[in-house]
Amino acid sequence: MSGNHRVVAAIDFGTHGTGFAWAVVNETNREMTQREIFYFEDWGSQQVVYAKNLSALVLDRDGKLLEWGYAAEALWYSEGPVQGRRYFSGYKMALQANMSKKKEVKVGEGDGVLSDQVDDVQNLIRLCLRQVYEKAIDHIKRGGIYTEDDIRWCITVPAIWDDYTTDLMYAAAVQAGLPDDRERLLLSPEPEAAALYCIVKGEEALQRPGQVFMVVDAGGGTIDITSYRVEPGRKLSQLAAANGNKAGSEYLNRFFVTEVLCDRFGVGFIEKISKKHPHVLYQLVKSWEGLKRTVTTTYAKNLTLPLTAEMYALVAKDAEASARFAERQGTVGTAIIIPAQEARDVFERVVSTVVEETRQQLARMRTAAGTSGSEVAILVGGFAESPYLRERLTEYLASEGVALHIPQRPSLAVLAGATHFAYDPSVIRARRAPLTYGVGTAKLFRKGVDPKAKRFEDEDGQVLCADRFDVFVANGDPVDTDSFERSTYVPVYEAQTGLQIDVFSTRAADPEYTTQAGVDQVASIEISLEKSMHLPRDKRAVEVKMFFGESRVRVEAKNLDSGENNHAEIKWKPTW
C-alpha cells in the first residue's frame, strides 16, 4: 500500500476511553523498534495524565453536543439532566447488537449506557470521533510542518465485529471528517494492533520466527482474542479466527449495581436514584472503581464502601430501602460492607467468560498450528491491570502449558500498535477468514444432483440451476493481505443495465446452495453495466475481485472484453 503521507496517526476508540497517537514518516522511523510515537495526554478535566479521554458525551434535548470526555462527565454529575440533557457512555458495544442476548439499558435511561438503535449509536460514535479527530489535527499541525492531507489514519475495531458493524465504524469515521480513501483510512483489529506493540517492545518470546502466540485484549467493553505465528522480518500471520464476548471491565461496574446495590437497597430504589440523582450513583460506582483494584483470587477481607452524605440521606428518607439495607447488613450504618466472597463472585461473573473465551481460542490456535504446549499468551487492555483477572488467566494457562506475558502499559498496547500498522500495513502477512464467503449465482444444471425446483432456462436456452453457492473463501482459510478471489459473471437478460450479486456467508466449509440452513445473505454487490450496453450480452462479462485479506472487505469489477473498470459497491447488511 503506497501513499504520499508524511505522518501516520491512530485513533483507539474504546468503550471506556478514546485517544490518538502519531508518528512521522521518515528514515529514522523506518525501523519499527526505533520508531518514535507521540501520545497526546493533555485532555483537560482529567485527574491523571493519560493518553485517553473518556468516550463520554452530553447532548442537549435536540441532540447537540454540549461536552465530551472528562468534561462531559463533570458536567453531568454536577448538574444532572437539566433542560433535557442526556449523558452517554459505553455505547460502542451496542453497535453490534447480536453480541449479547441480554437486554441493554436504552439511551437516556438510567446511566445512559447503551442504545438499542444502531443509527443512534453510530451518531454517538461520529460525535466522539469528530472531537478526537479535531484535537489530533490541531496537535499534528502545530509548527506548520504538516497539513491534514499529509496524514494516513488508522482506527481500531474489535476483531469479533462482523463486516456490517466494521463498515458502520468506517462510515462513522468518514462522517466525522476522516478521509474516505482506503489508502488514507485503515482499520486495525484491536488484538492485531496489540500484537505488533508486543513485538516492537521486544518481548523475547516473540522474536523467534515460527513462534505461536495469542493476544487476549481485555478492554472496557469486550474480551477480544486472536492468535498469530511470527514470520521472518517481524511480520505476523493470523492462525485462527477471532473470538470474544462482552466481558470487559465495565461489566464489573454493572454487576456492582445490579448485584450489590440492588441487593442492599432494592431495584426500585436504585432505579429511582439513577434517574433523579445520577451523580449519587456515579459516586458509588467511582468508589467501587477504587476498591475493585484490590480484589484478588485469594482476597479474604471485607470491602468497605462509605456512603456519601447525600446517599445516606436518600436511604434514610426511603423506609423500604432503609429497612432492606438494615436487614442485609444488620444495621443501616454509613457504609456498604461487601464480603470478600461476594466481591470475588462479582469478578467471577465477568472473568469466567474471559477464561472460557481464552480456552476456545487456545483450542483453535493449537488446531491451526499443530502445537500442544509451550505457546505464549499476551494480556493487554485496560482490564489487564486487574490482579484478579491476571491470577485467573495465569492459573488456567499454566495448566495448559502456556506462559502469560503482560507488557508494560498494557492499556496503551492497541493504540501504539495501530500506529505501527498505519506506518507499515505489510507487517500483517495473512489473516484468517472468519466464515465461508461466496455469492449466489446461476450455474449449469446438474441432472440428478441439483433440485428440480431450482432448474430454469436463460434466453439462449441454457439449462441453469439457481441459488448455487459460488465459494470465494472458506471458513478458516488463510488469506494473504494482498490476495484476492475472482469470479466471472454474465448478465442473464439482454436489457440488464447492472448486476446485483448477493453475498452470502456460512460456517460450513463447502456449501452447495445459498438457500440451505445456516447460510445468511450478508451483503450485495451492485455493478453498473452502463458503459458496456453497446456490446452484445455475452461481451458484457464482468470479472469480480473480492479482497478478503484486508481488515475491511472490498470489491473491484471490470469488463473482460474492454478491460474497463465497472463501478462496483458492496453494501453489508446485519444478520441479527
What is the structure's pLDDT at 149?
A: 95
CA distance 99 to 164: 13
The pairs formed by 21-24 with CB atoms below 8 angstroms and a separation of 24 or more are: 21/51, 21/415, 21/416, 21/418, 21/419, 22/136, 22/139, 22/140, 22/151, 22/419, 23/419, 23/423
> Is 205 a member of any domain?
no
> Is 451 a member of any domain?
yes
Q: Which residue has the cell 455469492?
A: 439
**Average pLDDT in the 397-403 region?**
95
> Is 392 a member of any domain?
no
**Average pLDDT in the 230-244 region?**
91
Q: For 114-164, what is each residue's pLDDT tens digit?
A: 334 567 889 999 999 999 999 999 999 998 999 999 999 999 999 989 999
Sheet holding 65-68, edge to edge: 65-68, 57-59, 86-88
Mean pLDDT of the chain: 90
177, 133 contact by CB (below 8 A): yes
* % of the chain exceeding 70 in pLDDT: 95
Query: In this structure, what are the phi and psi dihedrals at residue 522, rounded to the nearest 5 degrees?
Result: -110, -15
Q: Can you give the length of the chain in residues?
A: 576
**pLDDT at residue 110 greater than cutoff 80:** no
Sheet holding 223-231, edge to edge: 403-405, 376-380, 212-218, 223-231, 235-245, 428-432, 478-480
Q: Of the ranges 3-17, 139-153, 323-337, 415-429, which one carries the lowest mean pLDDT score?
A: 323-337
Query: For residues 452-489, b (16+ Cβ closer than 10 Å) or e, as one string?
Result: eeeeeeeeeeeebbbbbbbbbbbbbbbbebeebbebeb
> Is 505 a member of any domain?
yes
Sequence-separated (6 or more) residues with CB below 8 Å from residue 239 = 212, 227, 228, 229, 364, 365, 368, 369, 432
Could you give the angle at the alpha carbon of 506 between the alpha carbons of 503 and 508, nearest 5°? 135
> Is 464 a member of any domain?
yes
Reading the block at residue 135, the C-alpha cell is 484535537
Sequence-separated (6 or more) residues with CB below 8 Å from residue 319 = none
**Average pLDDT in the 336-340 region?**
94
By CB atoms closer than 10 A (0-12, 13-18, 19+), residue 300 is exposed
**pLDDT at residue 332 greater than cutoff 70:** no
Total domain count, the chain: 1
Look up the CATH number of the domain holding residue 545: 2.60.34
With 0.95 as the threshold, say if the pTM is over it: no
Distance of CA 405 to the CA centre of its chain: 22
**Average pLDDT in the 333-352 region?**
94
CA distance 47 to 60: 25
> Is 508 a member of any domain?
yes
**Average pLDDT in the 248-258 region?**
92
Tell me the residue type at 106. Answer: K
> Is 69 a member of any domain?
no
CA distance 236 to 227: 10
What is the structure's pLDDT at 116?
A: 44
| Closest by CA position to 285, among listed 246, 266, 311 | 311
CA distance 213 to 402: 9
> Is 452 a member of any domain?
yes
163, 555 contact by CB (below 8 A): no
| Closest by CA position to 5, among listed 197, 161, 183, 138 | 183
Q: Whole domain around residue 470: which residue ranges? A: 433-572
